[in-house]
Amino acid sequence: MPAVTARTALDEMGQDGAFKRKESVWRDVISKESSKFQPESGRYHLVVAMACPWAHRTLITRALKGLEDAISVSIVHPVWRKTKPDDDEDKHCGWVFGDPDGQPFANTKGLGGPFPPAYAGNEPDPINNSFAVRDLYELAKDTNGKYTVPILWDKKLNTIVNNESSEIIRMLSSEFNEFAKNPDLDVYPENMKESIDSVNEWIYPTINNGVYRCGFAKSQEAYTQSITELTESFDRVESILSKQRFIAGDTFTEADIRLFVTLLRFDEVYIVYFKTNTRSVLTSPNILNYCREIYQMGGVAGTVDMEQIKAHYFASHPDLNMYSIIPLGRDFAGLLSEPHNRGELFP
């Protein structure tokens, strides 16, 4: 097998200086119709980062469905490190597992921190004792070289099932109902698929991925196009939420999960780090009220760790923030705990 070139999202740049995210490649499906991956309690394991918005989608869905007893989880350390620390020639940096018994460390340039060897919930890999997420991909014989979270891991076959968050949340929503504490929740209901798909079609490129297009842009032209599209979509969201309770209609769906994880990080991270300072959640009354409702849904707050979110972004990319200084910000999660009146506005 030819050597795999390890890479990260920061390597996915176009000639015009624009960030161009590549699609995930592990796309198997858990289904009762599958001959390989059947829904089973205790068989599957999620590998996530509290910091990553894509992984956060899966944590929220797992919590809302009540699948904690059926699908186990590992939370990796938020600050990227060298994934092959004993190989001086290998420069790849990415997600590693926490080690509560380890030593504090600096960023990958030897600056900043020191960062603790583990934040809340960061534990060693309980299945394969891997040091890094990269090790799991190599164990599964990955040939792509981009070692992302979330990973939906099959403990029986010891391989990756899927690493595309949009597909994982649909599997969690529909394929594990016999093991779920909240089986009636369907985040992709048949009667709303068209409206959900329509919303996702513009929110993903201009907001979910739009913040990254702003932050990773390497030309003024690419940044200006991205921030313009983001600003227009942000205003569109604020307008929609002034007329209806949720982003795709009157029912909570996957579209809300996908939007919420970006909005949660917007003021504390993206405005500062990714230069998305044309708008803010705190000055958008409908969006703020909406975020409060979702944050206060059963189990969602427990999936939010702003300390790990900020540690990841501000400390993992020293080319963007050499000394890994983490802005203090404000208690955004505390602000989301304040009362909302979405139910009264849209009974």
Residue type (1 letter), 320: L
Whether the CB-CB separation of 119 and 311 falls below 8 Å is answered with yes
Q: 94, 133 in Cβ contact below 8 A?
A: yes
| Amino acid at the residue 334 | G
Residue among 321, 263, 313 at smallest CA distance from 293: 263
- Give the dihedral sign, CA 136/188/197/59: negative
At residue 215, the 3 state secondary structure works out as helix
- Kindly report the number of other CB atoms within 10 A of residue 278's CB atom: 14
Q: Which residues, in sequence order, are bridge partners of residue 152?
A: 46, 162
Is residue 52 flagged as an active site residue? yes
∠ CA 140-142-144 to the nearest 5 degrees?
160
Q: Active-site residue among 52, 93, 214, 291?
A: 52
Which DSSP symbol is given to 276? -
Catalytic-labelled residue, pool 44, 212, 223, 273: 212
How buried is residue 216: exposed, middle or buried, by Cβ count under 10 Å (0-12/13-18/19+)? buried
The region that residue 311 occupies, defined by phi over 0 for left and psi between -120 and 50 for alpha, beta otherwise, is: alpha
Cis peptide upstream of residue 347 (ω within 30 degrees of 0): no
Catalytic (active site) residue 212: yes
Q: Residue 93: name the closest of 305, 323, 318, 327 by CA.
A: 318
Contact 48, 74 (CB under 8 A): yes
- Tokens 């979509």 locate to 233
Six-digit token pair at 68? Answer: 């904690």
- DSSP annotation of 125 reads -
Point out the residues that are catalytic: 52, 212
